[in-house]
Chains A and B, each alone.
Chain A
Amino acid sequence: MARALIHMSASAKRGEIIEIRALIGHSMETGYRVGADGRLLARDIIRKFACRYNGEQVFGAELHQAISANPYIAFFTVATDSGTLEFTWEGDNGFAHTEKMNLTVSAS
């Protein structure tokens, strides 16, 4: 099971722009490296990342081999309503991971 870390504030004022930093443990094997036996190591990467805020996608990413191991992505979103932010990673070999974070939004 993968381990993911999400850094974001748990509460915000309505309309405030919050930063979200997401990191997941994954080797991101490129498929271009040669193993000890002289053969290419099979590609195993995360291809997709998405952040849904109360069900609506507010950020997405399509990743390729050039993203470092343990992919780190930082982005921003506007706090609109209290609710849940859902983060999903999808990749090769049926890799799928979901994290949820709660955000409490107060009137400005």
Chain B
Amino acid sequence: MKRRDLLAAGAGLTMLALVRPASATPVEMAAAINSFTGGAKPQTGKVKFDIAQLIDNGNAVPVTISVDSPMSAADHVSAIGIFTERNPQTEVAIFTLGPRAGKAEVSTRIRLATSQRLMAVVRMSDSSYWSQGVEVIVALAACVEGEEP
């Protein structure tokens, strides 16, 4: 291999290292949701995705997802997934619930790398899927860049 090729390869690698972890893409999010639903297309509705639309600090963003469900043995939420479009990785969390939960509501705190679209996808006991998307604006991103030297 010539020196020129090596340099080009080196440059390529650096680009990869810098760009690749920066963000997933809408296509990757769609693929991740697809693997969560097993190919089924989620319907819109039932799900309430509660998150501030303007976020000062992306390091700890409170989110609450609640689903309109009686949570009975016959009709309940079995899983809630949160997905992001432009974080380094599209999956955020998958929560497993059942009729013993009593109420289909989960809260947590997440990191957001940048302004983007988030999706909450819910699996019901009858294997139907429901989703809700939100657009958020992030002022201070969660530090994917690194710590201060």
In the complex, identify which listed stretch (A2-10, A59-67, A88-96) lies at the interface while the others stay far away.
A59-67
Q: Is B48 an interface residue (CB 8 A)?
A: no
CB distance from B14 to the nearest CB of A (A): 12
Q: Are B146 and A74 in contact (CB under 8 A)?
A: no
B100 is contacted by which of A34, A58, A73 (Cβ under 8 Å)? Answer: A58
Q: Is B133 an interface residue (CB 8 A)?
A: no
Q: Is A69 an interface residue (CB 8 A)?
A: yes
Main secondary structure of the interface of A (DSSP, over half): strand
Given contacts A66-B84, A68-B59, A69-B60, contact A34 B147 (CB under 8 A): yes
Q: How far is the CA of A33 from the CA of B98 in the complex (A)?
A: 36
How many interface contacts (CB-CB < 8 Å) are there between A and B? 108
Given contacts A30-B144, A36-B148, A72-B109, contact A64 B102 (CB under 8 A): no
Q: How many residues of B contact A (CB 8 A)?
A: 37
Q: Are B108 and A74 in contact (CB under 8 A)?
A: yes
Q: How far is the CA of A56 from the CA of B98 in the complex (A)?
A: 11
CB distance from B96 to the nearest CB of A (A): 4
Chain B positions near chain A (C-beta within 8 angstroms): 21, 59-61, 64, 84, 87-89, 91-103, 105-112, 143-149
Q: Beyond the given A65-B88, A71-B108, A75-B95, could you list 10 further A-B residue pairs with CB under 8 A, ordered by the A residue number?
A: A36-B147, A60-B95, A61-B94, A62-B95, A67-B111, A68-B61, A69-B59, A71-B109, A73-B108, A80-B100
